[in-house]
Each structure stands twice: as structure tokens, then as C-alpha cells.
Structure 1
Amino acid sequence: MTGIVVTEIARADAEVVASLGRLGSATVHEAQGRTGYVGPGVRPIQQGAAVAGSAVTVLTAPGDNLMVHVAIEQSQAGDVIVVVPRGDSPYGHIGELMATQMQVRGVRGYVTSAGVRDTAELRSMGFPAWATHIAAEGCVKDTPGSVNVPVVLGGAVVNAGDIVVADDDGVTIVPRADAARVLAAAEARAAKEAANRKRYEAGEISMDINGLRPVLADLGVRTVTQAEYDHGRR
């Protein structure tokens, strides 16, 4: 469906969103069963930024940012605007001026499978973005699209109000209905990793902590000395 703007979307609990953001995209991805990661094609334009927020989704035509302007009007503090064109779009769908509007409204970041421009200015402003393209060429504003409808961003479906977790490792999407469950699983994973880190610091290695020796044996991987290996090649 195109040509529709959905208003008054449901959003997840703010503290749940913030907690998922603190845990990070990789931990959240693993905790929800290795799902939700949008893929390596959507990359940060900066380093060191980590955000989480409720998705305001935009389905747009390639090279057209009309509906991004509409999405800004629909956004609230704590949101992340997610823009997906219907096809590859190596154009700068936003730049400094649109980012200024978003920042004033409290939007935490911008994620897109299209492009952005004015990247130096966005970094200077402290407005984080994740994009497939960086492109100087801008967009037109003459094609209908939709706001707050389901979109497919890389390898993940994003519904309005889903939680976007984005940092240096990429972007992971958490369905709003699963937020509390995923948070509990991610916290448990983080606690386990913290405990393992102490064991690594004490000199243990992952082969033993993760029980990998029986896995190698079951797969038929053998351990031989250099002399045995060289002899077997003769």
C-alpha cells in the first residue's frame, strides 16, 4: 500500500528502549535468536554513536524524499526515522537542514537503505546516521509514498514503533511486541559474557569455556604434530 500516512503509532516503553540501546546491536541480535540484524550494507557514517529508539518508517520512491519531510512531522522525541526506497537509491535523501529539524524534535538518529549527504555537518552536529550510500546528489519531491507502514530494511522487517538499536556494529530491529522478552535475554547474555570475560582474564580460553573440543571431535577434526603431518604428506 502506498500513499498513506499512519498517525498515533504505538511505541515501546522508554526504559526498555534505553536498556536495549545500552546493550548494543550485536548483543541484542544474538539474544533474539540471531535475528533482526539488517545486514552489513547499512553502515554508520560516524564512529562512537550508539542510539535506540522507536521506528518511524518511510516507504519512498528512489531519489525522492517527499515522504521523509512528512515523517519528520510525525516524529517525536526518542524516535529513529527509518527510510526504505522501493529500489536502490544512491541519492542524499537527507542532509544538514533536514537533520536539524529532526534533532530539534528529539529524533535520535536516521537509518536508511538509501543515501545521505552533508556527512561532515551531520557528524559535527552530533546527529547519527546509518546509510547504504553517501551521495552528493539530492532528491526531488514529487512521488507519493507512505509513512509508518511496514518496510523491509536489508534483512529485517521494520514496523512502525519497533525498536531500532544502532551503533558501530550496525543496526538491529526488535519487534515492539517482543521488547521485554528480548531485553531479558540480552541482559542474561551480557551477564554471561561478563562472567566469561573474568575467566579469560584469569587465563582460561574459549576452547574450554565453550566446550569446543567435543565439537571438533564430532566433526572429525584431528590434532597431529608437525612431524606426523609432514610424514603423512610423503
Structure 2
Amino acid sequence: MKTVVVRNIDRADAAAVKRLGALGVSTVHEAYGRAGLMKPYMRPIWPGGEAAGTAVTVLAHPGDNWMIHVAVEQCRAGDVLVVGCSADNSDGMFGDLLATSLKARGVLGLVIDAGCRDVKTLREMGFPVWSKAISAKGTVKAALGAVNVPVVCAGVNVEPGDAVIADDDGVVVVHRKDVAEVAAKGEKRQADEEGKRKLLASGALGLDMYNMREPLAKAGLVYLDKPEAE
């Protein structure tokens, strides 16, 4: 592994990223062909947090947050810091002091495939974090990693500048070159779902709306007016 910091990266279009954020993780994931969704163990440390920004990536080592400090300098307004680890880890590698530094630079949130602590303070700050675990276990600053290189975070390859969308449903990553296309597909999907939502609210059944009755019958589903006698 090269221990480097890449200072200049190409970021996804900010307006398109904002459109993705308005759609939410579930709709973006579907619009992206069900790609880019991080493993479900990545959970928000407090409910209701949302972030939609461009990735600044960190490759760190277990129990060592040195490179997160290095990465802060490379962040700018509208970014989301994404931290992958070189091996499985759940130590509390991020807390309120680092969050204070990131927030001062306009960073919208953190996604970390490790642990986080200082949850109460982070919630009060309004700084959202998605992490593998919550752990008070502290870290060291001893091993070099890298900043703004491709990393794997919770099973997803994340490249610097990719769009990162995170909410209560999890975290999804869209390659920076695909954001406009996915935003358009997601908005169309959202409009279609709004029409379906109105039909369902009026009492229509999904069975009829999605024309499920015939394929259910072909699959062998039988309706009985009363239980069969034993």
C-alpha cells in the first residue's frame, strides 16, 4: 500500500448529488440498479441524520485514527468523509473533537467501517455518523495509511469524489460519473411511486395494481372460503 495523500480530486456534480439526497438511500439504490449499497451493519449513530455529499476517502489501520486527522485538511464544504480499514475493527476511531474539526470545514458527515464514540455530543452537534459499531475504546496514532485513494467500506468500493447518500436506511455510493443519470432515474421512480401511493391510500390493492392475481394462480396459490376438513 502506498502511504500517500492525494490533494486534488474530481468531485461529483454538487447539484446532482443534492438531487440524490432528496430522493433518499432506498430510491437511489433502486435507481442505481440495486448497486452501491453498503452492508446493513452500517447504521446511523443517532436517528434522523442525513447526508448527501462527495467522498473524501481514508484508508486507516485498526485502532489507529492518524489518517483521519490527515484527511481533515483535504476536506471541503459538501464532502462526506469515508473511512475504510485495512482489517476488521470496531474501535472508537472517531469522536466529537474530530467532528468539530470536520464541521468547521463544511463536511456533512462521516461513514466509517469501524467504531464511533461521543454519541451524545455528536447528536447535540447535529453531526451525522454511520458506523459499524459504537465503542468507547480509544485509538493510537502510529501507522500511516492513505487519503483520497480507492477504499472498500462495508463491502462497497468507494472512489474519491463519488456521491455518498446516507440516511436511516443506510449508505449508498454512486460513482461520480453516474450521478446525473441516477438522479433522473430516481426522480422518475419517485414520481411513479407517488401515483401508486395515492392509489393505495384510496383502498386499491397491490395485488390488482401490480397484476399479481394471474401469476399467483399459475404458481399454484389457491383461495379457500373455509379451512379444509382434516
Same fold (TM over 0.5): yes
Residue deviations 1:181-218 (CA, integer Å, cap 9, x gap):
10011001100011111111111011111222233233
TM-score, with length taken from structure 1: 0.95
Distance 1:37 1:110 in 2: 16
Deviation, 1:62, is 0.4
Distance 1:148 1:213 in 2: 51
Tell me what 2:157 maps to.
157
Deviation, 1:224, is 2.5
Question: Is 2:29 aligned against 1:29?
Answer: yes
Deviation, 1:155, is 3.0
User: Unpaired segments of 5 or more residues in structure 1?
Assistant: none
Distance 2:2 2:204 in 1: 56
Runs of 4+ in 1 over 6 A off after TM superposition: none
The within-5 A match list for 1:15-164 is 15-164=15-164
Q: Judge conservation of contact 2:149–2:159 (CA < 8 Å) in 1.
A: yes
Root-mean-square deviation (CA), in Å?
Answer: 1.1
Q: Judge conservation of contact 1:54–1:161 (CA < 8 Å) in 2.
A: yes
Distance 1:161 1:218 in 2: 48
Tell me what 1:187 maps to.
187
Q: Judge conservation of contact 1:2–1:144 (CA < 8 Å) in 2.
A: no
Residue deviations 1:25-69 (CA, integer Å, cap 9, x gap):
010001111111102110001111211000011111100011101
Tell me what 1:198 maps to.
198
1:113 counterpart SS class: strand
Moved more, 210-219 or 130-139: 210-219
Q: Give the % identical residues.
A: 49
Q: Judge conservation of contact 2:112–2:130 (CA < 8 Å) in 1.
A: yes
Tell me what 1:208 maps to.
208
Distance 2:216 2:3 in 1: 55
Deviation, 1:70, is 1.1
User: Unpaired segments of 5 or more residues in structure 2?
Assistant: none
Moved more, 149-158 or 51-60: 149-158
* Partner amino acid, structure 1, of 2:165: V
Q: Residues 35 and 124 from structure 1, CA distance in 2 versus in 1: closer, same or farther, beyond 3 angstroms?
A: same
TM-score, with length taken from structure 2: 0.97
1:92 counterpart SS class: coil
Q: Judge conservation of contact 1:114–1:133 (CA < 8 Å) in 2.
A: yes
Aligned residue-pair number:
230
Distance 2:121 2:208 in 1: 48
